[in-house]
Structures are given as C-alpha cells and as structure tokens.
Amino acid sequence: MNRLKTRLTEVLQIEHPIVCGGMFRLGRAELAAAISNAGGLGIITSATFPSADELVEEIRLLKSLTPKPFGVNINLFPTTRGPAAGDYLAASLREGVPVFETSGRSPEPYLRSIHDAGAKLIHKVAGAQYAKTAERLGCDVVSVVGNETGGHPGMADVGTIVMVRQAAETVGIPIIAGGGFGDGAGLLAALALGAEGIVMGTRFLATAECAVHPAVKTWMVDARADDTTIIQKSIGSPMRVAKNAMASRVVTMEQEGANLEQLLPFITGSRNPTVYSEGNLDDAVWSCGQAVGLVNDIPTCRELIERIVADAIASLRRLDTLRVGSPELV
Ligand SMILES: Cc1cc2nc3c(=O)[nH]c(=O)nc-3n(C[C@H](O)[C@H](O)[C@H](O)COP(=O)(O)O)c2cc1C
C-alpha cells in the first residue's frame, strides 16, 4: 500500500504516522501489538499495572507479539497512584523499550536516562506554550492535544486546529497532533497544519483488539460528537469523558462547590472496570473524546490504520484537483 513518510515515521522507525496514546487500563499488550504490527506505534500504559514487575511481564508479552517498535506511557500526573514514575521507567529501560510517552508534568528528570539508553521521548502537552518547553528540554517529539481530546485537555479550552498551528510556528521538533482525529481527512489536516502525524485514543477504543466491553464499543458507534463532557475543571485537572450518569453527577457536584476530597471517590479511575469489563456504561467516568462522533464501525487496528492512510492520500489527491493554474507556478 501507499505510505506517508514524515519526520515522525523516520524518528520512530514506523511505517505510518499514527500513534495510539497511552490509555489507562486499556493500553495493554494485545492492543499495542495490533497497532505496531499494522505499522503505527502501539503503547502500553504503565499506570495500568500495580507494580513494575507486572509492567515488565506485559512488555515481554508485547515483545513476543510484535517485532516492531512500540512505546510505554509514563503518567506524570500528580494524581497517579502505584509505583513512582522512575521505577516504571527503569524497569522499561532494562527491557529495551524504544519509545516513551510522558504526560502530565515535565519529563526533565527522566530525559537523560531515556537518551542514554538510546530510546526516544514523546512528551504530550495540552498547550502550545508547553511544546516550546518540551523542545527546550530536549524531547525528541512533542504531542500537542487540543480541547477535543479524550483524557486531559488543557485548562484554556483551545481547540486542536489553533493549538497545533501555534506549536508548529514555534517549535522545530516533530509534532504529533492529537484531539479529534479518527479518519484520513483528519490525518491530512494534521499534516497540513504542520504536524508530522497524529495521536489517537478514542478511535482505538472502538477496534476489535481493544479489550473493552462490547457495550462500550456499540455505544461509541451510536454516539454523537457532543456525547462527551469535561469534568474536573474546578480542581484544575480537566478531563473529557463520555457523557453518562456518573459524569453528570460529578458536574453537578462541581457546580455545587465539591472539593477534591469529595470528588475523588468518583474520579480516580478505580471504578473504571465496571464500565470496561462489565459494560455498565453509567457506573464510572471514563475518558472519551469528541472523535467518538467519527466512529461508525469496529474495525481491526490494521483495517483502521490502512484505511486512514489510504483516505489521507485520497484526500491529498482530491485537494490537488482544486488547484487552478499551471503546477510550476504553484
Ligand atoms: C480511554 C482513554 C484513556 C486515556 N488514558 C490516558 C493516560 O493514562 N495517559 C495519557 O497520557 N493519556 C491518556 N489518554 C489520552 C490519549 O493518550 C490521547 O492523547 C488522546 O486520546 C488523543 O485524543 P483523542 O481521544 O481525540 O483521540 C486517554 C484517552 C482515552 C480515550
């Protein structure tokens, strides 16, 4: 099939400029292997595993499932439970993990050991100004995610188009655009904005290999783009989630002035398994971005990735037909 070669595919040594971002509880070996085997970058989310040893087991499983590059997400958000980020990182480096994705806080304390091991670091930010910081620190790649994103958008409510464009005007390292991508036209738009690829989370939930209850996937196929909502803004840690009974409850609590302690029992993610494993869609808040409005089917990761790349190339050709005048003047 045709491919799109960008600085991202070169830096990460992958075939297609498509990354699956870290997904707490869902970023596991089977999903990551399916994405990496299809030519994208699959990522295991370390916070899913209660100990560094269990993370190592998952990395070994992933290595047995794919010979291709993959990554490990290290969550630096202050609310993260479990082992310290440094323990996850050290264990992953011993396993020869080639790519890391960090988010939530500055990755500065970890950069040297990542680079000393010959690995690459993608740092994910939710504001163009932080992309500049990531570059200054020496990150290899920066993911820039706008307000449409599943998981954590920034406090400023800036959408992906403006944020990626601003970042592209200010940084020289490769940018991955995130927040709202789910198809080939989106990938092409990201490249047009100056990004070198896309990071998706929401779209990868509705794939055959994602180990989430079928009821979640079916809900996503039926959902509209406005079936998500932002919670936790009152505590300075906004999160875009599926609009369900629990999200409405949290929004109401925030409007009534609930503090962090009162909100915590509903927002930590400890209740996620009831949604993800049992399919009780209203029992917990769970991350979901506006790209859910672009989900119309439940393909395999390979079908999805190949379709996105083929459609991006088709969109590129279609745009070329809009050009008026002789090519050499353009
Ligand atoms: C279910 C789910 C869980 C997520 N968990 C994490 C996480 O643990 N760490 C992280 O850095 N990003 C997390 N994200 C964000 C994704 O890695 C990715 O940046 C984002 O989903 C991209 O935007 P999109 O949802 O519009 O595709 C999560 C997203 C989803 C949908």
Residue 40 CB less than 6 A away from ligand 1: no
**What does the block give as tokens for 313?**
């190339």
Give residue 269's pLDDT.
Answer: 83
The better pLDDT of the pair 54, 2 is held by 54
Residue 163 pLDDT exceeds 70: yes
pLDDT digits (tens, 9 = 90+) for 235-268: 999 999 999 999 999 999 999 999 999 999 999 8
Residue 48 CB less than 6 A away from ligand 1: no
pLDDT digits (tens, 9 = 90+) for 282-294: 999 999 999 999 9
Angle at 139 between CA 136 and CA 140, to 5 degrees: 125
Pocket test for ligand 1, best of 100, 149, 217 (most atoms within 8 A of CB): 149
Residue 327: pLDDT band with limits 50, 70, 90: low
Instruction: Using the mean position of ligand 1's atoms as its centre, give its distance from the Cα of residue 221 in Å.
Output: 18
SS3 call for 323: coil
DSSP alpha helix (H) spans, 120-270: 128-137, 160-170, 184-193, 202-205, 214-222, 245-255, 260-267
Instruction: Using the mean position of ligand 1's atoms as its centre, give its distance from the Cα of residue 43 in Å.
Output: 11
**What does the block give as tokens for 147?**
């307000």
Residue 325: pLDDT band with limits 50, 70, 90: confident
Residue 329 pLDDT exceeds 80: no
| CA 127 to centroid of chain Cα atoms | 15
The helix-helix angle for 29-37 and 52-65 (nearest 10°) equals: 30
Q: What is the Rg, in whole angstroms, of the alpha carbon atoms belonging to the chain? A: 19
What domains, with CATH codes, occur in the chain?
12-212 (3.20.20.70)
Of the candidates 181, 114, 111, the one whose C-alpha atom is nearest the C-alpha of residue 144 is: 181
Q: What is d(CA 132, CA 112) in angstroms, rounded to the nearest whole number? A: 18
Instruction: Using the mean position of ligand 1's atoms as its centre, give its distance from the Cα of residue 33 in Å.
Output: 17
Instruction: Using the mean position of ligand 1's atoms as its centre, give its distance from the Cα of residue 26 in Å.
Output: 10
Give residue 2's pLDDT.
Answer: 86
Q: What is d(CA 295, CA 17) in angstroms, rounded to the nearest whole number? A: 20
Instruction: Using the mean position of ligand 1's atoms as its centre, give its distance from the Cα of residue 254 in Å.
Output: 23
Ligand 1 nearest atom to the CA of residue 45, by list position: 8
Q: Average of pLDDT values for 70-80? A: 85
pTM of the model: 0.96
Round the average pLDDT of the chain to a whole number and report it.
95
Give residue 138's pLDDT.
Answer: 98
Ligand 1 nearest atom to the CA of residue 200, by list position: 27
Pocket test for ligand 1, best of 105, 123, 202 (most atoms within 8 A of CB): 202
Residue 103 CB less than 6 A away from ligand 1: yes
pLDDT digits (tens, 9 = 90+) for 93-125: 999 999 999 999 999 999 999 999 999 999 999
Percentage of residues in the chain with pLDDT exceeding 70? Answer: 97
Residue 80 pLDDT exceeds 60: no
Residue 187 CB less than 6 A away from ligand 1: no
pLDDT digits (tens, 9 = 90+) for 174-222: 999 999 999 999 999 999 999 999 999 999 999 999 999 999 999 999 9
Contacts of 117 (CB under 8 A, 6+ apart): 93, 96
Q: In what order do the strands lie in the sheet with 99-103?
A: 18-20, 197-200, 175-178, 141-145, 120-125, 99-103, 70-75, 42-45
Contacts of 298 (CB under 8 A, 6+ apart): 206, 207, 208, 217, 221
**What does the block give as tokens for 64?**
């047995």
Contacts of 231 (CB under 8 A, 6+ apart): 238, 239, 241, 247, 250, 251, 254, 267, 285
Q: Average of pLDDT values for 30-59? A: 97
